């Protein structure tokens, strides 16, 4: 099974992110009273990274580990040092409180991550702004960080759901915003030719899905608009993930000839396109059992974590940023080892202030190579919340779903055995003892 957005459909970055950024700016100026001066703020593709937590109370963007320990903290575009973090977050801990914290889970969130930081930086840099702990006062008007973020979320909801401006603009210029990969048709055909079934399961509606999938898989001359449907045994739109993996929503049929929803009892002919439903019903309709299904999607929470928690489907997480992460990690591999050595020395000598500063500088140097907000998976040599969740929940992950075209359909992916520290010590002792025995034997043989 395949998700559509950022899975089968790969959006061009930074073009698509910049579009969402600009539409959000325009919305809050036109509808929410923000000054036109903010329209001059430009999108910075080097700044945002997925997986950050936005703190509505302080306006900070946090990168945390799986326990809520703060690894990095930014206010606007400014990186806070350790003492500043401790003064705001006792113990450098922030729990995932839904009323206070919003998690930037998806690639769609990159635009608002950049915009909220840019607006805070912009207004707090003004001479006539009085900065406060929860926001600022300008021209006699108090603005909280929570309100700014609420306004941005209203803009994002509008372009996705109400005005549909993001989708309409994208459809009007597909070659600019959507990547077309020649491997996709062949990959899907190969799966079906093997006797396996394929299905598309997306939260997008039929109108948008039809446009995107026609572009990706339809006839070049657009004479047969529904040709792309032949690549799937079933298509499900309006799936409402993650609810799809629990209670779901009422299952209806999509009449593709009229683009309307009709009851299952209507008995219409044509392609099997449905709206809503839940994982139990869809699995049954496919004639499969839970573990038989592997589902590919980009949303760590909605496509992977909730799927693994609530049903038996296996998961393939799509991480579009992976190629960039790999390139930077390979370039800085020696620096990661250096960080580990610094931390080992600090563990024995916690009062070495100079070493702490060198460690801080080394972490920042590594983070900057990834971008303004560092790596998606880590800060220094510590895994981020996103990185740890990938380790726990995703069966497999890759940078693009089209990488499947490079593997045999019988390929088995087996991860390395996870070893606890005491098991690693035993293994290292065994290797050392084996080497000692080998050296002793070599010496005896040479003497003989």
Least Cα distance to 199 among 301, 308, 274 occurs for: 274
CA separation for the pair 62, 79 (Å, rounded):
10
Active-site annotation holder among 5, 17, 55, 303: 5
Q: Between helices 322-331 and 353-370, what is the axis angle to 10°?
A: 140
Least Cα distance to 384 among 319, 435, 323, 432 occurs for: 319
Question: Quick one: how many helices (H) and strands (E) in the chain?
Answer: 15, 20
Query: Residues 366, 368, 369, 371: what is their CA dihedral angle, to the nearest 10 degrees?
Result: 130
Residue 61 tokens read as 């963007």
The verdict on whether 17 is a catalytic residue reads: no
CA separation for the pair 200, 216 (Å, rounded):
13
Q: How far is CA 200 from CA 72, 247, 335, 341, in A?
A: 37, 19, 42, 47
Active-site annotation holder among 3, 151, 158, 303: 3
Secondary structure of residue 127 in the 3-state scheme: coil
The verdict on whether 408 is a catalytic residue reads: no
Going edge to edge, which strands form the sheet with 199-201? 199-201, 234-237, 273-277, 249-255, 260-262
Residues marked as catalytic:
3, 5
């Amino acid at each position: 099974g395949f998700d559509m957005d950022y899975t089968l459909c790969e959006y061009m970055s930074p073009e698509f992110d910049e579009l969402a950024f600009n539409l959000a700016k325009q919305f809050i100026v036109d509808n929410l009273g923000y000054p036109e001066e903010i329209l001059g703020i430009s999108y910075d593709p080097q700044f945002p990274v997925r997986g950050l937590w936005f703190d509505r109370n302080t306006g900070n963007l946090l990168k945390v580990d799986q326990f809520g320990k703060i690894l990095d903290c930014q206010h606007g575009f400014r990186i806070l040092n350790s003492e500043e973090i401790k003064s705001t977050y006792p113990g450098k801990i922030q729990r995932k409180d839904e009323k206070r914290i919003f998690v930037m889970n998806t690639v769609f969130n990159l635009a608002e991550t950049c915009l909220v930081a840019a607006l805070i930086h912009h207004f707090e840099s003004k001479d006539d702004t009085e900065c406060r702990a929860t926001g600022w006062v300008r021209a006699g008007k108090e603005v909280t960080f929570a309100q700014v973020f609420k306004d941005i979320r209203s803009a994002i909801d509008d372009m996705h759901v109400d005005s549909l401006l993001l989708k309409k603009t994208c459809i009007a210029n597909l070659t600019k915003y959507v990547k077309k990969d020649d491997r996709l048709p062949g990959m899907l055909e190969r799966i079906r030719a093997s006797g396996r079934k394929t299905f598309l399961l997306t939260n997008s509606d039929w109108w948008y899905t039809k446009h995107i999938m026609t572009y990706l898989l339809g006839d070049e001359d657009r004479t047969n608009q529904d040709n792309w449907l032949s690549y799937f045994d079933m298509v499900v739109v309006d799936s409402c993930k993650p609810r799809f993996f629990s209670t779901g929503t009422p299952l209806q049929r999509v009449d593709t000839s009229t683009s309307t929803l009709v009851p299952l009892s209507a008995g219409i002919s044509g392609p099997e396109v449905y709206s809503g439903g839940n994982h139990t019903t869809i699995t049954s309709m496919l004639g499969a059992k839970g573990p038989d299904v592997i589902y590919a999607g980009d949303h760590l929470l909605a496509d992977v974590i909730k799927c693994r928690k609530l049903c038996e489907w296996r998961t393939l997480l799509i991480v579009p940023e992976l190629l960039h992460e790999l390139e930077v990690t390979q370039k800085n591999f020696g620096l990661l080892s250096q960080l580990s050595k610094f931390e080992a020395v600090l563990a024995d000598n916690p009062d070495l202030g100079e070493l702490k500063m060198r460690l801080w500088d080394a972490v920042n140097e590594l983070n900057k190579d990834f971008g303004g907000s560092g790596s998606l998976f880590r800060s220094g040599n510590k895994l981020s919340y996103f990185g740890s969740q990938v380790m726990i929940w995703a069966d497999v992950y890759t940078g693009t779903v089209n990488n499947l075209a490079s593997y045999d359909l019988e390929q088995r992916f087996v991860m390395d055995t996870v070893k606890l520290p005491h098991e690693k010590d035993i293994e290292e002792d065994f290797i050392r003892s084996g080497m000692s025995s080998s050296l002793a034997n070599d010496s005896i043989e040479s003497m003989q």
